[in-house]
Amino acid sequence: MLRRKSLIYLLVVVSVFFIGGCSAMVQRDSLKVDKALIGHWVNTAGTLDYYFSDTALIKVEKDGTTTNMTYTIVKTNDTENTITIQVNDPSGTVLEANKKDIKFSADKKTMTETVNVLGVKISEVNFNYVDSKTNP
């Protein structure tokens, strides 16, 4: 009898954890672009990681060099899955080259970062979403 009660108790506990874990998972495609940006992203070449929080960006390069920055949202468009951010370097300097236009895929699991200076595209980098970590 005690064994049966223990087994039932164990099944209830496992079920609660399983149901709770499933409900905590958010479908990325339903996120607004400002929330979809938050988390750990890696470029498709595997040479750069970004960790976004609500206002901070940590850039980790392949050699391990880490740069802590902040950013502000310039504009968002949830219909087009785009966001523009202004990144401030560690000294607080704001440069046009630090303005990034980001376009998310429909499922928000990939993004393309484009940097334009004086209307000329100087870089375009593709990233894949890794996880929700905001720090390395």
Kindly state the percentage of the chain with pLDDT values over 90. 67
100-123 burial, b if ≥16 CB within 10 A, otherwise e?
A: bbbbbbeebeebebbbeeeeeeee
Give the model confidence (pLDDT) of 72-119 as tens digits. Answer: 999 999 999 999 999 998 877 777 678 999 999 999 999 999 998 888
Q: Is the per-residue pLDDT at 58 higher than 70?
A: yes
- The answer to whether the beta carbons of residues 9 and 2 sit under 8 Å apart is no
In angstroms, the Cα distances linking 11 to 2, 8, 23, 45 are: 14, 5, 18, 44
| pTM score of the predicted model | 0.78
**What is the per-residue pLDDT for 111?**
98
CATH number, domain 2-131 = 2.40.128
Give the model confidence (pLDDT) of 34-43 as tens digits. Answer: 999 999 999 9
